[in-house]
């Protein structure tokens, strides 16, 4: 009988830039208030990259921590997957920059663009490389330097996002633990509701496109909110149902940190009690592909995840993309 190989997380880490921007600072830039931001989003502050910090720098800090925590050398990494919508460059990939920075001479890899669902896409992709039996150590990083595409005169977007990165190392297990199931979706019909119009082959950078602020993220906030509430709740409910689980069976729910109201709605639909929901949006804002890995590492470091726990992940992002993932935690 064939033994099924699952991918399990054996190391987690995160990094955020030193600079903190509070809501009070944003009050000086746009027509908003600390009270307005907190009551509508749950955000009190976010971290902002320094002028000399890019996504590869944040990712490298995470990669170095992952290796140190696992007690392995960079040469042991087989694949590096970086989920991001704010790469350093179109080419080379951020994954290639990280590979060079840490000296992972035996690794190949690539960037993956799934916006706020990017880290789940990365875990799913990495887990398949593990389960096929060919690779033993896959590094998955979710990172975004959102400040690089924010218009700090647009209060609909600049109050929401922050910069940060997190990641994990995936390795094989035969115990039946690890990544158990996932549901991933995409609907390109919603692409124009949350997007960066300029910078690609459709609209290369010109003086006109820069002056028109086409290289910043833009969104229809109300429509995105409605889609996000339904999408994240639906997919969380579905993955629990198809695995015969209820809210009582979930040890910890780690949702994408976009808006506290979206998180609360998803948790309520799944009957997951508040004490089982990880929320850190108040301190980091929406770091896009960074939210779930940052939250997961915080949960590990504070003892909120223990051996044998059932963990539910869920996300929704530009694309539209959305998905959920179920993990059975196994200590490394």
**DSSP assignment of 44-82:** SEEEE--TT--HHHHHHHHHHHHHHHHT--GGG--EEEE
Is the separation of the CB atoms in 182 and 323 below 8 Å?
yes
**Are 318 and 83 a contacting pair, CB within 8 Å?**
no
Reply yes or no on whether 132 is catalytic.
Answer: no
Which pLDDT belongs to residue 4? 83
14 is catalytic: no
The DSSP code for 90 is S
Number of H helices, E strands in the chain: 11, 13
Contact between residue 279 and residue 254 where contact means Cβ atoms under 8 Å apart: no
Catalytic residue (one of 6, 23, 259, 286): 286
CA distances from 262 to 219, 254, 265 (A): 16, 13, 5
270: tokens are 């799944």
Tell whether 1 is covered by a domain.
no
- 55 and 202 belong to one structural domain: no
Do 35 and 58 lie in a common domain? yes
Q: Consecutive 10-residue runs of the chain (332 residues): their mean pLDDT? A: 84 98 95 92 96 97 98 98 98 98 98 98 98 97 97 93 98 95 96 94 95 94 91 96 96 96 93 96 97 98 96 96 97 84
Q: Are residues 224 and 119 in the same domain?
A: no
In the set 6, 23, 256, 259, the catalytic residue is 256
Final residue in a domain of this structure, among 176, 194, 212: 176
- Of 145, 176, 207, the one marking the end of a domain is 176
Residues 14 and 90 in one domain: yes
158 is a catalytic site residue: no
Considering the candidates 116, 259, 270, 297, report the single residue annotated as catalytic. 116
Domain endpoint, select from 150, 176, 202? 176
The answer to whether residues 147 and 21 touch, using CB atoms and an 8 Å cutoff, is no
């Amino acid at each position: 009988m064939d033994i099924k190989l699952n991918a399990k997380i054996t190391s987690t880490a995160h990094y955020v830039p030193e600079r903190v921007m509070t809501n009070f600072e944003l009050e000086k830039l746009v027509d908003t208030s600390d009270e307005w931001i907190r009551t509508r989003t749950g955000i009190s502050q976010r971290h902002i990259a320094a002028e000399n910090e890019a996504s590869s720098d944040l990712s490298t800090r995470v990669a170095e921590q992952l290796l140190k925590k696992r007690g392995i050398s960079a040469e042991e990494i087989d694949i590096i997957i970086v989920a991001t919508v704010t790469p350093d460059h179109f080419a080379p990939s951020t994954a290639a920059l990280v590979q060079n920075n840490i000296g992972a001479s035996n690794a190949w890899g690539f960037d993956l663009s799934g916006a706020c669902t990017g880290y789940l896409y990365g875990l799913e992709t990495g887990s398949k490389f593990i389960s096929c039996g060919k690779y033993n150590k896959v590094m998955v990083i979710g990172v975004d330097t959102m400040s690089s595409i924010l218009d700090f005169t647009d209060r609909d977007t600049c109050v929401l996002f922050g910069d940060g990165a997190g990641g994990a190392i995936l390795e094989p297990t035969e115990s039946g633990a690890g990544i158990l199931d996932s549901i991933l979706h995409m609907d390109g019909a919603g692409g124009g509701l949350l997007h960066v119009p300029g910078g690609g082959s459709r609209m290369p950078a010109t003086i006109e496109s820069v002056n028109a602020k086409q290289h910043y993220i833009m969104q229809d906030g109300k429509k995105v909110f409605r889609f996000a509430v339904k999408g994240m709740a639906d997919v969380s409910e579905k993955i629990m149902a198809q695995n015969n689980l209820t809210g009582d069976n979930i040890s910890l729910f780690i949702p994408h940190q976009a808006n506290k109201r979206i998180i609360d709605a998803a948790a309520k639909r799944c009957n997951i009690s508040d004490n089982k929901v990880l929320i850190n949006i108040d301190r980091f804002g929406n770091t896009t592909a960074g939210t779930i890995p940052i939250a997961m590492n915080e949960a590990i470091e504070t003892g909120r995840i223990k051996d044998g726990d059932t963990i539910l992940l869920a996300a929704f992002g530009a694309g539209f993309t959305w998905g959920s993932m179920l993990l059975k935690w196994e200590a490394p």
